[in-house]
Amino acid sequence: MSRVGKQPIKLPSGVKAEVKDGIIKVEGPKGKLSYKMPLGLNVKTEAGVLRLEADEKKAPNARSLHGLVRTLVHNMVHGVSQGFTKELEIVGVGYRAQTKGNVLNLTLGYSHPIDYKLPEGIQAKVDANTKLTISGADKMLVGLVAAKIRSFKEPEPYQGKGVRYTNETIIRKQGKAAGAK
């Protein structure tokens, strides 16, 4: 049995969870999320606590998914109550970002600006034109959007220009030696 899967998930105040037809729906102050449970896994709700149970008779692979599904449901509960954030930095002369509604406008040294339409449920906040904060209730979608924005101009190893995560370290290369014969 999975040790992670056995752990109960406490529902914070203001968060409601409902299980119906194999789909768990979680609703809170930051939004609504839903997840279709795999065959052989059931969610029991009791007094503000969610518990996952694996049924080996229905599906032989239920044990292998027990811990994963419990973590996904826990992330849903955390997301609708507190939310998730990813922070990005834009490094380079003339590189900047700005938001216009749900469109993120990026100037990253190309001949054209990049307009990226944010998915529903994701917010972007720009500080000082170079610090970008992506936030939302769905952990996977927040990470996916941050990775997509980073992919527009990944940090290069010689000068470090590009879009990087705030805590990311870039391994720098030395470059060409001048005047060596």
Q: What is the pLDDT along the chain (181 residues), one digit of tens a residue?
A: 568 878 889 999 889 999 888 899 999 999 999 999 888 888 888 888 988 888 777 777 778 888 899 999 999 999 999 999 999 999 989 999 999 999 999 999 899 999 999 999 999 999 999 999 999 999 999 999 999 999 999 999 998 899 999 998 888 888 887 765 6
* Domains defined for the chain, CATH in brackets: 3-81 (3.90.930.12), 84-165 (3.90.930.12)
Going by C-alpha positions, the residue among 24, 32, 80 that lies closest to residue 52 is 24
* C-beta of residue 42 within 8 angstroms of C-beta of residue 56: no
Going by C-alpha positions, the residue among 48, 34, 45, 65 that lies closest to residue 137 is 34
The Cα 39–Cα 61 span in angstroms is: 9
Which pTM was predicted?
Answer: 0.86
